[in-house]
Amino acid sequence: MEPVAASELKLNKLYKVEFLNGSKLIVSFAGFKGGRYYFFNETGQQFSIADNTIKHLRFYK
């Protein structure tokens, strides 16, 4: 899988995100608003990650 920077995420595209604890999740990017990145997980639930912590995550397409 090819790594992607958070600033390169595109709307409605699927990405694999790797968290600091090593867990991985397939997400769909839903947008950026108010200093937060919004995503949908595999079950359709929306969640967000703060701009100041997203730099510690790894994204792959």
Residue 1 has pLDDT above 90, yes or no: no
pLDDT value at residue 26: 97
- pTM, two decimals, is 0.89
Nearest residue to 48 (alpha-carbon basis) of 30, 36, 57, 60: 36
**Which residues, at least 6 apart from 16, have a Cβ–Cβ distance to it below 8 Å?**
1, 24, 25, 26, 27, 59, 60, 61
Q: Is 25 helix (H, G, I), strand (E, B) or coil?
A: strand
DSSP at 1: -
Q: What is the mean pLDDT of residues 35-46?
A: 96
Please write the tens of the pLDDT for every residue from 15-35. 999 999 999 999 999 999 999
Q: What is the mean pLDDT of the chain?
A: 95
